[in-house]
A and B are shown apart, each in its own frame.
Chain A
């Protein structure tokens, strides 16, 4: 048709056209197959991946069970806590993000880095807490920049709150994030969960914990929740009601302010602890926030050792309070009786060694009652000579020394009741008779905890019925009572009349003996003092040093009241407090005044 150099011959065009169409058809067949392959043959696996993209389960932490006192007053509760977290896997530019965050949350960049580094062995998706307890202003600032700096997030969950601050901290203990080792051991916990580390928080962890809930949510590509598909709400943990009387507790904390040591009060009808002050103490909220290294170091290196609960973990020499054990031993073993007596001249020679009474000019003629009341050493030296260390050990253990009292608090110490076997093993030396004489007045390698002393004096008050000390009154869930421990008393195989005689001595101790300053009008208080020298009187500088703080003697007073039908027993222990009659005894009197006064 066209024979011109401007035109292409039809045959050439048809050839190019045919090739193009063949290529086109091939291309479309290939595409159809490719989509067939993805959309139909592999549909199922891609569908699952798409679901995995959007479906997520978010766990909701259960609010921890409450702690209340015996009258239902709140000791520990929960609040809503806003925490700033960083997820490393989502953070595009971690350094920039840290730079941005530092001024907002008032932390140095170095400190934020340190907090992130602490979690370097955790999965990259883990939400690393950077700061807890954000206030509302901080939450708003961070929320407004979440998109800009992926990886940062503000999470909120219930957090333990201790409205009373330091009060009762030694009993409550504290909670903090569970360690990787604890996580390995406990199946139902997640990394980052809070767990009771000490005190009641640890003891009743399984009840406090409640039940974690969860939400099945739809998320978008930025991990933002778009929709909640299903929710299983968390269940509040059980409420633990303690035997503590908060009114009394708060008054005793005030009385004991500035001292270091313990006041413990037991309810003799049950063995429950009514009040327990152990100083120094700490702020349990310290452990629910994130602290810098310096703050940790300061707490751990604190020479006053505020994390130790001296009631169950402080071990001290019992001093003269041990004469209670010796008196019962003497009577029960028939080594002494109501009529026996000793002449105290201030000192005596036993096994060719001089032993001294605390009163240089002596007590004169002393019987059992006066020996207890005046705490006469000479009387008990002679008693010690009539017995042996094995028997002393047996009676000490009978009254609860040398073993845990079994109070419902973790990490209780057992103290030490010496025996020849113990000395051989520990010091590789035999037991000497002279040492038995020292032990008889509560010296030598005897170590007791204030808890053991409270249990011992409670046993004496109840004339041989030894109560198991405890802090738990009941555990309640929303459905009712879960657990109420029954009072637990153990009979001590010592005759009642021997207790009565001892109690006469304890009574005169307050009436006219070393504990005269414990006298409270209208109340028959019985008790025994103990002053424990921390340096020996043989020290040439004794007179000077003993007035200075770290060398002042420890001060004990164990007591109960009333004499007939006793209601409460009290242990007062003041570390380096000075002479018991001057320090521990008046403090105890204050305890009785508060307890019996406000009851009226």
Chain B
């Protein structure tokens, strides 16, 4: 216990907590006019998540690796059951009720998909046809189940695992070419027949936001107005008119960076970017010799990085509005807890080499 805390990366941990606290500050501003105390709820969740992080830190990584696949299977079964039995809440079936809590299983399956993939990648040399198929199965099953909830944003984030896997292992050129062709074909069919009308509307409005000013394009336009009107130093805490008068949509979740941009300006955004940069920089550790541990660290960091990337591109209008929250910052318990549990494992992995 003492050893673990001695070698534990305090800087990364503090940066993480700082990011989460900044998030709570922004949630406070984003919901200042609402009755429910969102920021308090998020603060409680943060405390609980930190506790979980330390609990996970105590567990032997090998043991987790061994139970990763069974847990993955269980979560897939839960997702499948949800697909059949789940009740619709705020337009999706992503939530299951545990006691008085609502939990999004889809957030947690990211961790275990990453773990399973990490173990699999440790066994292969380079990605060929067979291994690509295995990877796609690992990712594709939860992807399909989550996408039909429908929660395209979360499902989409799982895809980042495939890219990171390719980045880590390399891939045969023929496989790349042929699978890209297949991807084009699949997405054509997907857009034509599978996407729900509102999802299509988002795609279309992304391509031409001003034409859809009153509907789907509205969100992006208002988000850019919020960010742009912040200027260098922002309009001041609680003083952003886009946030305060609710022109900004889903401002405590997907568009929380717009709140930051409006109230704290370019300086505030730079601080957040810098914190994330430090976090990623330290977490992409070179000194993880064990194969699956190294791969898990990079795969899971890859998910965070992608989600961070897509969320920010979304708020500045460079990516379609998919409903992807900003990791550690946006309001939401399941996402926060899942990321902190994953972080717990990574913190442990990074001190394993110092342990007997």
Contact = CB atoms under 8 A, between A and B. Distances in A.
A43 B229 contact: yes
B12 to A, nearest CB: 14
A35 interface: yes
Interface residues of B, number: 43
A21 B281 contact: yes
A50 B229 contact: yes
B46 interface: no
Given A35-B261, A50-B226, A220-B246, A17 B266 contact: no
Nearest to A1: B289
Interface in B288-338: 288-291, 294, 298, 305, 309, 312, 316, 318
B289 A89 contact: no
Interface stretch (B86-94, B96-104, B171-179, B269-277): B269-277
B268 to A, nearest CB: 10
A457 B266 CA distance: 87
A27 B312 CA distance: 11
Nearest to A50: B229
A221 B245 contact: yes
Contacts of A51: 241
B253 interface: no
A39 to B, nearest CB: 4
A24 B280 contact: yes
Nearest to B123: A5
Interface string A207-247: 00000000000111110001000000000000000000000
Contacts of A226: 245
Q: Number of contact residues on A: which range applies?
A: 35 or more
B273 A17 contact: no
Nearest to A124: B214
A14 B285 CA distance: 9
B298 to A, nearest CB: 7
Contact of B214 (A7, A13, A45, A89): A89
A31 B229 contact: no
B294 A40 contact: no
Contacts of B266: 35-36, 39-40
Contacts of A221: 245-247
B284 interface: yes
B154 interface: no
A39 B232 contact: yes
A38 B228 contact: yes
B227 A16 contact: no
A34 B223 CA distance: 14
Contacts of B286: 10, 13-14, 17
Main secondary structure of the interface of B (DSSP, over half): helix
Interface string A521-534: 00000000000000
A594 interface: no
A45 B290 CA distance: 53
Interface in B200-251: 214, 222, 224-232, 241-242, 245-247
B168 interface: yes
A33 B160 CA distance: 24
Nearest to A49: B225
Given A36-B266, A38-B316, A8 B294 contact: yes
Interface string A1-30: 110001110100110110111001001100
A467 B139 CA distance: 100
B122 interface: yes
A32 interface: yes
A454 to B, nearest CB: 61
Nearest to A27: B309
A32 B268 CA distance: 12
Contacts of A46: 224-225, 227-229
Interface string B111-145: 00000000000100000000000000000000000
A2 B290 CA distance: 9
B284 A24 contact: yes
A217 to B, nearest CB: 11
A45 B225 CA distance: 9
A43 B231 contact: yes
Contacts of A71: none
A220 B33 CA distance: 12
Nearest to A55: B241
A27 B222 CA distance: 24
A16 B229 contact: no
Contact of B227 (A1, A20, A38, A218): A38
6 contacts: A10-B289, A24-B280, A39-B265, A43-B229, A218-B245, A220-B247
Interface of B: 122, 167-168, 214, 222, 224-232, 241-242, 245-247, 261, 265-266, 269-270, 273, 277, 280-281, 284-291, 294, 298, 305, 309, 312, 316, 318
Interface of A: 1-2, 6-8, 10, 13-14, 16-17, 19-21, 24, 27-28, 31-32, 34-36, 38-40, 42-43, 45-47, 49-51, 53-54, 89, 218-222, 226
The 9 tightest CB contacts between A and B, nearest first, are A46-B228, A50-B229, A220-B245, A17-B286, A39-B266, A43-B231, A47-B229, A221-B246, A7-B289
